[in-house]
Amino acid sequence: MPQHHSSSSHSSDQGIFIGFLILMFWLPLPLGSNRPWAWAIMEVAIFSLFLVWLWGFLHGRFRLTEAFQKAKQVLILFVLWLVYVAFQCIPLPYWLVEFLSPQAAYLQALSASTEGHLPLTATLSVEPHTTTVSLLKSISYVLLFVLTLLLVKRHKRLRWLGYAIVLSGVFQAVYGSLMTLSGLEYGFFHQKEHYTGLATGTFINRNHLAGYLELCLAVGIGLLIAQLTDSTNTTWRQRLRSVLSWLLSEKMRLRLFLVIMVIALVLTRSRMGNTAFFASMMIAGVIGLLFSRHATRSTVILLVSLIVIDILIVGAWFGVDKVAQRLKTTTFDSEIRDEVDIYTIPYWQDYLWTGSGLGSFSTAFPRYQDQDVGGYFDHAHNDYLEFGAETGIIGILLIGSIVLVCLILALLAQYKRRDSLCRGMAFSVVMGIIALLIHSSVDFNLQIPANAATFIVILAMAWIVYYLPPQKYKHQHKKHRKRKTEKKSASTHEVEVREFSIKELLTVDGK
């Protein structure tokens, strides 16, 4: 009876999992889901998938996975994050806000029409509406993390999730490259006004396409590492056969997917996007070789080939030299984003501990913006400074702890797991985290819903690759049962032979 319940549990949430994969492919399509209508679709889809799963769980059809049960620490941190953001946007006694955030209390006292009297209540957020909007997005990200833990419960599903992310990256790469090389220059059903001549995919900003491709490339490299084995061929015929089989194999298709995404990454001309990708691949490669007790020679060859071939061949054809030229000609005088960062520091100092409210950067920053930095800025070009200014030191500690815990668990998975898929995807988690942490120092990829959601799913993969049950258990059980049957039949045959010999002896004696 329990076995029947398990199989029905596995099959009945298949539809939810397929919806989850479709969502992962959809998220980058509508401008990176960075429009109110687009992130509303994301939120409704995530809430719907979770509610359907919860309904099935309450009716006994679904069960909690081991990864979900073991992820209590990080789930507690996520809940604390949500409670903290909610605390920013709910009305509190004015005296409490004045104690916690004097600047937020001062601004709300100025805007209150109370004829000189202090308001009775205030919020820690200087823009509670946008903080409420950001709270809803944060809830959807946490539920996406939970759904990943609950739905990806077998190796097959982990592989499917990896391929869904990779294929989404390949689509963005092909679309962005074709638009750039053909001169059509269309984004998501509209003609591009900015970044013409550069690959943007269906994103608005080339740097955000670059950030998304970094994550997709990390997952793709992990999938490729999971399929690598050391060759034992000794003769030239065996080597020729292995080369031909490799050319027709899934590994070759994956390698082509990686090349296509690297081409698009180069065509974005994103300096930090390209730097973050190659730096994270080298750092994660060195860490993987040091931490993994089961690293193969093929893994080393793959990482070296990715760096050398992609830079020398792909870069020579599609202009990695132009990216290098942009890096050389970049100066502090020509860059405006560093000045935005400089003015963000006193902004953070005024809201040091509790922040100005998640999502309130565009409202609070103009008070600190000098005349030499013209224009409107809805985000800082630095995720660390923006999260710090909006959520304070408390928020930075919470969100940083979540990322750090997941990174440590992925490193432990690389060290302890023998399963090739789990080790490969653990590499993906490490590389993806390092890539976006590097890129976040000069951009705001984590403010783009598609990139943030994909990053959250990669964080959840750290728990899956560490706690996913071994894949070979069933095969080992079958082999054990087969050996047991063979031993039993052998012993039965031996008994029959002995009986036959005794009968023969009796017959001879009788004669």
pTM of the model: 0.86
Give all strands (DSSP E) within 234-379, no chain letters. none
Residues 6+ apart with CB under 8 A from 177: 199, 260, 263, 264, 267
CB 363 within 8 A of CB 108: no
What is the reported pLDDT for 509?
46
What is the reported pLDDT for 7?
42
Helix extents (H) in 59-112: 66-70, 72-89, 94-100, 102-111
What is the reported pLDDT for 243?
54
CB atoms under 10 Å from CB of 231, counted, come to 14
Q: What residue ranges do the domains of the chain occupy?
A: 2-230+248-471
Strand partners, 186: 191
Burial of 24 (0-12, 13-18, 19+ CB in 10 A): buried
What is the reported pLDDT for 153?
94
CB 307 within 8 A of CB 259: no
What is the reported pLDDT for 191?
83
Q: At what angle do helices 14-26 and 2-12 cross, to 10 degrees?
A: 30
pLDDT tens, residue order, the chain (511 aa): 344 444 444 447 899 999 999 999 999 999 999 999 999 999 999 999 999 999 999 999 999 999 999 999 999 999 999 999 999 999 999 999 999 999 999 988 887 655 567 788 999 999 999 999 999 999 999 999 999 999 999 999 999 999 999 999 999 999 999 998 888 888 888 888 888 889 999 999 999 999 999 999 999 999 998 987 644 555 666 556 655 565 556 788 898 999 899 989 989 988 889 889 989 998 998 898 887 665 566 667 777 777 666 666 555 555 555 555 555 555 444 456 678 888 899 999 999 999 999 999 999 998 888 866 667 788 898 999 999 999 999 999 999 999 999 999 999 999 999 898 999 999 999 999 999 999 999 999 999 999 999 999 999 999 999 999 987 544 444 455 555 555 555 555 444 444 444 444 444 444 4
Which tokens belong to 398? Answer: 């919470």
Q: At what angle do helices 449-467 and 128-151 cross, to 10 degrees?
A: 30
CB 172 within 8 A of CB 212: yes
Q: Which three-class secondary structure state does DSSP give residue 509?
A: helix
